[in-house]
Amino acid sequence: MKSYAPFKQLVYERYGLDLEGLAEPRLVRAVDALLDATGSRDPAALARLLGRDAALLDDFISQLTINETYFYREPEALVWLAERYLPERLARGAGPLRILSAGCSSGEEPYSLGMALLERFGARAPTLFRITGGDVDHRVLAKARRGIYAGMAFRALPGALKARYFTPRGRQFAIDDALRDWVHFRALNVLEPSGDGEDGGPFDLILFRNVSIYFDEQKRIAIQKRLLERLAPEGILVCGVSETLGNDLGVLELTQREGVFHFRRPTRQSIAPRPAPAPAPPSPPAPLPKAERAATPPPPAMPAAAPESFAQRVQDAQAYLNDNRFDEAEALLATLLDEQPWSVDARLLAGLVARWQQRAEQAQEHFKRALYVAPECWPAHFYQAELARAGELTGAPGQPTRGYEAVLRLLEASPRATGGLTIIASPIPPGDARFLAKRHLVTGARTREADDGL
């Protein structure tokens, strides 16, 4: 039996990534592929080889990272930076200002900020700002440098900006050459010391958004110390909305302006990192909420439609969704649900289409119906929890916790569970959903503890 512990330890020590939630199936696939490629049958020896071979380790890390991102994610922070904070810094005589997107993945975040700055400053923007994107995954950095995107990368980008900064290239879109040439990408391990020169800072703005959920508290403290080394004296660090409290660890000082929370250098000597709390014993998972079956008629008998024809059209709807062709996906799914109202696959896709069209209540209704038919549909639990956690759905304070706990309960019992889907695979892999559910539960618990302490 293979031991994955040496690989987990190596990745944790070098990069800070906690792979417990990814052990099945992502880590397993990566280790097995490496064993086959090298012909080795000794996992411990192979882990030692990884520690010595930087190129081999780079390829290995590329198979482990989750790169879920898209353009104009959390746009309120982007607008505040482009319209208020950065112009004020320039007005005080600073410039050009240096900006770092740490954990930039395939480039959507630094390019989004670049678009926001071009909208605000026009053609002068590249002379006023230097934008760097950094990530440990060299494969996504190569994609960022190419600047070619498709599908769900555009789900939150306003149509006018997409038309202005992208050119169709078949079924994909190429980013404007001037924008692509402006943003510089480099390999970056946030646990390593900062270097000298332009790429090493100091930076007037560091974006570390939707990244820290992949690190435990001990590593987040170490990362913040490294980011502090890269931060200019008056610079700020901006985290994702749901990560802010989880990063208030005493290394940096939390502040807020106009509703946007961010971190800056400590202004008093008394600030010191708090000790990491002892891990709490795991609480038993909450049972799945009971479906209100009394209010919903029993599922009708399935019509005798040709299975191949129906399945192919469901796959076509998923292709439309992936290509960001929401209207076509919605029209096709409406027809499919008229034929088979209790198709779990079609319901899940319809919920995702509604979500990306910013119709949260309609999305929730589709996810609920999918769960009525298949209570084991962990993707529906996951996306319903995401609606509430992201603030897209109001009046459901306990929904994220219940949903993520359901995801964990189902996937820990069966790591490769299909979730009741018979035609399509889940849009989010089970290992990723399990990992993110764990992280969001930890973040939510800390937020509640902080609120109780107020």
pLDDT digits (tens, 9 = 90+) for 95-123: 799 999 999 999 999 999 999 999 999 99
Query: What is the DSSP pairing of strand 148-149 with strand 172-175?
Result: antiparallel
In DSSP terms, 130 is beta-bridged to 98
pLDDT of residue 211: 81
Cα dist from 254 to 262, 263, 447, whole Å: 6, 5, 14
Kindly tell me if the per-residue pLDDT of 396 is higher than 80: no
DSSP SS3 for 216: coil
DSSP H or E stretch at residue 204: strand 203-208
Give the mean pLDDT of 206-224: 86
Within a 13 Å sphere around the CA of 97, how many CA atoms are in the beta-carbon half?
Answer: 27
pLDDT of residue 290: 44
Encoded tokens for 159? 């149509």
Q: Exposed, middle or buried by CB within 10 Å (0-12, 13-18, 19+), for 91?
A: exposed
One-letter amino acid at 274 equals R
Poorest-confidence range of 230-239, 277-286, 404-413?
A: 277-286
Encoded tokens for 316? 């076509």
Q: Are the C-beta atoms of 235 and 244 separated by less than 8 Å? A: no
pLDDT of residue 395: 63
d(CA 6, CA 13): 11
Query: What is the DSSP pairing of strand 260-264 with strand 231-239?
Result: antiparallel
| Closest CA relative to residue 77, chosen from 275, 239, 254, 248 | 239
The pTM assigned to this predicted structure is 0.66
Q: Which residue has the tokens 């508290």?
A: 217
pLDDT of residue 199: 62
Mean pLDDT of the chain: 82
Between residues 243 and 358, the one the model is more confident about = 358
What phi and psi values does residue 46 have, to the nearest 5 degrees?
Answer: -65, -40
pLDDT of residue 328: 92
Helices of type H across 210-325: 217-230, 307-322
Kindly tell me if the per-residue pLDDT of 126 is higher than 80: yes
| Segment 27-86, tens digit of pLDDT | 778 888 888 878 777 778 888 888 888 778 877 877 776 666 889 988 889 999 999 999
pLDDT of residue 87: 94
pLDDT of residue 277: 41
Kindly tell me if the per-residue pLDDT of 454 is higher than 70: no
Asked if the peptide bond before residue 202 counts as cis, ω within 30 degrees of 0, the response is yes
Per-residue DSSP letter, 381: H
Helices of type H across 198-277: 217-230
Poorest-confidence range of 156-170, 177-191, 251-265, 283-297?
A: 283-297
Give me the helix-helix angle, 307-322 and 344-356, nearest 10°: 20
pLDDT of residue 278: 41
d(CA 377, CA 368): 10
Give the mean pLDDT of 157-185: 95
Describe the strand order of the beta sheet including 184-187 as a list of residue ranges: 184-187, 129-135, 97-102, 203-208, 231-239, 260-264, 253-257
Count of other CB atoms within 10 angstroms of residue 56: 16
Within a 13 Å sphere around the CA of 156, how many CA atoms are in the beta-carbon half?
Answer: 13
Per-residue DSSP letter, 39: T
Kindly tell me if the per-residue pLDDT of 359 is higher than 50: yes
